[in-house]
């Protein structure tokens, strides 16, 4: 049997060896990753609106009613968000994580968009409950939380939507339970940026622990 490789030049043998070695190496192209980090870091306000006792309520509804119940709530919150130039980051079951686009500019308008959006969601509660009642569905209660800080932008390769990770995203989830039902809380980092705004009043929630070694302040927010 003739070894065809012996008939190749040294450069051709080197090329074959290189191809063989590369075949054993993982392809590190970014297109092979389901989730790609852009490496782009921005400061954003991040918010979360979460239904209260939705699991217990859903257990009393049939499948069709469950879908309608969640759909009315999530779409109502999304419409309010869009009025303030905001975008949904993700829908996790009975909650929405979102961000106001203007908040990345670190301007007063961006912070006010975040605060006004949160308050608009709370102020829509009675109207939303009337809509649900007309559909013969239970009333809904929810909590809203928001914070500010640095996030890393990321995107799924099969989606045009933006996702983000970072402290304000995590903190929104942690402080949400500190909010009184149908009200809003903000974290200390956002508070430091908006505490001098005249249109709002803030009150620190004393004794609320996030389980950290060092305490992180959380504030309720209302209109003056």
Nearest-angstrom CA–CA distance, 201 and 203: 7
CA atoms within a 13 Å half-sphere pointing along the CA-CB vector of 28: 3
Query: Which residues make Cβ contacts (< 8 Å) with residue 39, sequence separation at least 6?
Result: 152
Mean pLDDT, range 46-67, rounded to an integer: 90
Task: Give percent above pLDDT 70 in the chain.
Answer: 73
The pLDDT, as a whole number, for residue 71 is 92
The pLDDT, as a whole number, for residue 159 is 53
The pLDDT, as a whole number, for residue 191 is 96
Architecture per CATH, domain 39-223, reads as 2-Layer Sandwich (3.30)
* Average pLDDT value over all residues in the chain: 81
pLDDT digits (tens, 9 = 90+) for 75-99: 999 999 999 988 898 887 789 999 8
Nearest-angstrom CA–CA distance, 101 and 123: 22
pLDDT digits (tens, 9 = 90+) for 115-157: 999 999 999 999 999 999 999 999 999 999 999 998 887 765 5
Check whether 23 has a pLDDT greater than 80. no
Domain coordinates in residue numbering, the chain: 39-223
Nearest-angstrom CA–CA distance, 186 and 189: 8
The three-class DSSP label of residue 122 is: helix
Check whether 27 has a pLDDT greater than 90. no
């Amino acid at each position: 049997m003739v070894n065809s490789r012996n008939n190749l030049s040294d450069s051709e043998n080197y090329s074959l060896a290189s191809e063989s070695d590369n075949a054993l190496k993982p392809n590190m192209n970014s297109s092979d990753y389901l989730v790609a980090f852009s490496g782009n870091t921005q400061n954003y306000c991040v918010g979360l609106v979460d239904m209260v006792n939705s699991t217990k309520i859903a257990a009393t509804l049939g499948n069709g009613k469950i879908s309608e119940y969640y759909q009315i709530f999530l779409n109502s919150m999304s419409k309010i968000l869009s009025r303030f130039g905001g975008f949904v980051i993700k829908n996790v079951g009975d909650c929405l994580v979102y961000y106001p686009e203007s908040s990345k500019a670190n301007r007063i308008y961006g912070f006010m968009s975040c605060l006004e959006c949160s308050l608009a969601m709370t102020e829509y509660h009675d109207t939303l409950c009337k809509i649900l009642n007309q559909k013969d569905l239970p009333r809904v209660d929810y909590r809203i939380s928001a914070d500010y800080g640095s996030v890393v932008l990321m995107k799924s390769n099969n989606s045009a939507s933006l996702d983000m990770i970072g402290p304000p995203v995590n903190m929104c989830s942690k402080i949400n339970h500190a909010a009184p039902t149908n009200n809003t809380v903000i974290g200390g980092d956002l508070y430091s940026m908006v505490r001098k705004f005249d249109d709002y009043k803030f009150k620190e929630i004393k004794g609320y622990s996030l389980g950290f070694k060092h305490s992180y302040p959380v504030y309720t927010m209302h209109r003056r």
